[in-house]
Structure 1
Amino acid sequence: MDRRTANSQWPEETADLPSFYSPKSRPHEAPATHLNADTLSLSPLVQPPTTYPESDRGFDATQLPPPSLLSPQFTPPATPSGAATPTTEHVPRGVPVDSSLPTGGCGSKRPRLLETLPEVQCIVRARIPTVTGTEMWLHLYSNNVDTKEHLAIVFGNNIRSRSLDEPREDETEMDRMIRGAYVGRLFPGRATSGMMGTGAEGEAGKDGGNGSSPLVRIHSECYTGETAWSARCDCGEQLDEAARLMSLPSQQESGGIIIYLRQEGRGIGLGEKLKAYNLQDLGSDTVEANLLLRHPADARSYGLATAILRDLGQEEIRLLTNNPEKIRAVEGPNREVKVLERVAMVPLSWKGRGGFKSKEVEGYLKTKIEKMGHMLEMGGMGP
């Protein structure tokens, strides 16, 4: 159904959006008047099983972790796993795209692509339990392009790295477990990785069995927005929201991946980015400031992200982005990865679900829409 037809049933009034946001949109049915911690928190993934499936065990069945001393009855109701968790989800809806077509929803520009994809290797993987109850798997990568430590944050248990799982010369089972090349979960006294002779090395990247593609976010490092609480951009909020969406129960089958690239300040580095901030205080917008410092408006590249996605076994993805130009850039020089859908990343404050507002961030979003072609439509979310 055409989205304009689908939205025609809604009245002409729009949500309380910034003045530069022109498209008519469906009003939020129940605008939040305060920050709802339950709505914004990360939903927990399925609790770890107390036993391992035979196909994943690969070690003595008697070597099971001790039972948990915590009971669900003692879980405080306000935590993500408690009774206060909302029963409805804000599930992301994707807009189909096809970069092979001129009108495929991928922007009009031709992004800068590498002739060949970089070589990447996952050095180590570790389980990260988070303060919200969700678990994720942090993968650290090396590459042959730069010396930076790029990362992949993986949600779900079915997405694996090929380069990490490959056996390495003269390593022991303990070596494999220490670098994260194991199946199931680690626990005190475990002696084997559960991978040798089980064929697990060939299972990298398989989905959870429902055939759906994972939700993927390509996120560039932003120290000021993620660590220094900056209200000049929405990068920190975008990172948090991406994690929340990927940990929804409806996403558990397909999983989710955040590729975290160390390209601060759209690729110009933190020092130059801070200079750009001073130029913004002197009256320039974010694009003009970069140009005045003799940098491109956007100096980022995404070849490393494509290579990491391939290492994680992904050939078709749903991309969480407002930038249609990023679609073709992430797909790689020969469409090594195909983007099937683009899912919008709408600011939480625009949806009436908390978030934050500031003069600086509205100017930042205005410039991204007007000068960089970003699309922040409201129609991409559903109950």
Structure 2
Amino acid sequence: MTSDARSAAGDSAQLPSFYSPRTAAVDAPQSRDGQPIDPLSLSSRADSPRTQPPPPSLLSPAFTPPATPGNQTPTTAGLRGIPVDSSIASGGCGSKKPRLLETLPEVQCVVRARIPTVNGTEMFLHLYTNNVDNKEHLAIVFGNHIRSESLDAPREGETELDRMIRGAYTGRLYPGRTTSGMGGPSSEAESQEEKNPNQDIPLVRIHSECYTGETAWSARCDCGEQLDEAARLMALPGNKAGGIIIYLRQEGRGIGLGEKLKAYNLQDLGSDTVEANLLLRHPADARSYGLATAMLMDLGQKDVRLLTNNPDKIRAIEGPNREIVVKERVAMVPLSWKGKGGFRSQEVEGYLKTKIEKMGHMLEMGGLS
């Protein structure tokens, strides 16, 4: 095995187990002996049409500033955040003033279940209903101490088995268990066990559904990789504060999967992601975050650390009366942005370029300026 092959194998072995194994690109150039050739080295050949090296990739460490929070993969939960304050104009929360609902939606968590994950950690999947749409939105919760008020509330006529089946229990379920532990003799000890002793602020990610990026292996966006990275950060050893991924069913920035696929065709015809939405007579971003605010409130969260590159999302998450307060913004920096795996494609680089240039997303770390 050559040193390059050993290095590639080593990089693959070092990927967190949350990430699916990455395969080599099928169209990667190869030498006569079958070994892959670095595409950047082609530009230095005499017979190459390029005379200048290509600009730094949006996915490369050359683009990601060294001071970006999360640029160095932490071994503990000590992610660095940028303090923000939406109550002042210079609070680092973006320039936009999103239209907020005057009244937050009503949400109810109808079921919760423990999910053992492929990397050995556990999380609790919460399914929510609401009074504004017919979709089932989700909260992926890391940490036993984060609980849903609407789920834990007693319901008329239900038995202890009913409570356990819908996930309103303390501790762990096991064969033969007969009580939920909610209000019973064992509830006090188990509730103490599930409390957050340090009262640290949890890490929160607001993630919008992306079927193409999460399920259909699309290289047009980095949504699937961002979801993986958020889960990895929340499952880090030593993360006592826990974490919450609010998974909203608003595909295609709110325009739906069918319209999103039309937008893909417009992109192949030369439009960027924003232009494609506008040509289809949709807003550049039609998403709403009132449901996320209401779900975080139901999960007992007042102060959060928001994992996002979009400072304008902070005010949208906080709600009309700052029902939720974002204390810090933590940058989302997936592996490919660090040059440590992930994937590359012409489409995703154009997608990221548009988000930064036209939608105000940022990576650099800064104060409240």
Q: Which amino acid aligns with 1:137?
A: F
Counterparts of residues 225-236 of structure 1 (less than 5 Å): 225-236=213-224
* Change in 2 beyond 3 A, CA 1:196/1:242: same
Q: Any idea what SS the aligned residue of 1:40 has?
A: coil
Counterparts of residues 151-230 of structure 1 (less than 5 Å): 151-197=138-184, 208-230=196-218
Q: Any idea what SS the aligned residue of 1:213 has?
A: coil
Q: Any idea what SS the aligned residue of 1:353 has?
A: coil
Q: Name structure 2 gaps, 5 residues minimum.
A: 1-6, 20-72
Match of 1:362 in 2: 349
Q: Which amino acid aligns with 1:41?
A: S
Compare 190-199 and 358-367 and name the one that shifted more.
190-199
Q: How large is the RMSD of aligned CA atoms in angstroms?
A: 2.3
Given that 1:225 and 1:235 are in contact with CA atoms closer than 8 Å, whether structure 2 keeps it comes out as: yes
Instruction: Determine if the alignment matches structure 1 residue 255 to structure 2 residue 231.
Output: no
CA deviation string 1:343-375 (max 9, x = no partner): 001232221221111110000000000000000
CA deviation string 1:63-122 (max 9, x = no partner): xxxxxxxxxxxxxxxxxxxxxxx9935842110000001010001110121001100000
* Change in 2 beyond 3 A, CA 1:87/1:275: closer
Partner of residue 301 from structure 1, selected from 268, 285, 288: 288
Identity of aligned residues (%): 79
Match of 2:80 in 1: 93
Structure 2 length-normalised TM:
0.78
The number of aligned residues is: 304
C-alpha distance in structure 1 between counterparts of 2:249 and 2:16, whole Å: 26
Match of 1:317 in 2: 304
CA deviation string 1:143-195 (max 9, x = no partner): 00101000000001100000000000000000000000000111110000011
C-alpha distance in structure 1 between counterparts of 2:140 and 2:97, whole Å: 28
C-alpha distance in structure 1 between counterparts of 2:9 and 2:90, whole Å: 40
Q: Which amino acid aligns with 1:279?
A: L
* Change in 2 beyond 3 A, CA 1:354/1:346: same
C-alpha distance in structure 1 between counterparts of 2:342 and 2:365, whole Å: 15
Given that 2:206 and 2:245 are in contact with CA atoms closer than 8 Å, whether structure 1 keeps it comes out as: yes
Instruction: Determine if the alignment matches structure 1 residue 270 to structure 2 residue 263.
Output: no
Counterparts of residues 330-369 of structure 1 (less than 5 Å): 330-369=317-356
C-alpha distance in structure 2 between counterparts of 1:35 and 1:264, whole Å: 33
Please state how far the C-alpha of 1:378 moved relative to its aligned partner. Answer: 7.2
* Change in 2 beyond 3 A, CA 1:116/1:34: farther
Please state how far the C-alpha of 1:322 moved relative to its aligned partner. Answer: 0.4
Match of 1:289 in 2: 276
C-alpha distance in structure 1 between counterparts of 2:8 and 2:295, whole Å: 38
Please state how far the C-alpha of 1:32 moved relative to its aligned partner. Answer: 8.3
C-alpha distance in structure 2 between counterparts of 1:379 and 1:106, whole Å: 11
* Change in 2 beyond 3 A, CA 1:282/1:90: farther
Please state how far the C-alpha of 1:38 moved relative to its aligned partner. Answer: 4.1
Compare 264-273 and 347-356 and name the one that shifted more.
347-356
* Change in 2 beyond 3 A, CA 1:32/1:319: farther
CA deviation string 1:304-337 (max 9, x = no partner): 0000000000000000000000000000000000
C-alpha distance in structure 2 between counterparts of 1:179 and 1:196, whole Å: 16
* Change in 2 beyond 3 A, CA 1:33/1:318: farther
Q: Which amino acid aligns with 1:239?
A: L
Given that 2:148 and 2:298 are in contact with CA atoms closer than 8 Å, whether structure 1 keeps it comes out as: yes
Match of 2:26 in 1: none
C-alpha distance in structure 1 between counterparts of 2:183 and 2:12, whole Å: 46
Match of 1:117 in 2: 104
Structure 1 length-normalised TM:
0.75
Instruction: Determine if the alignment matches structure 1 residue 240 to structure 2 residue 228.
Output: yes
Q: Any idea what SS the aligned residue of 2:151 has?
A: helix
Please state how far the C-alpha of 1:40 moved relative to its aligned partner. Answer: 2.1
Partner of residue 329 from structure 1, selected from 296, 304, 316: 316
Given that 2:210 and 2:223 are in contact with CA atoms closer than 8 Å, whether structure 1 keeps it comes out as: yes
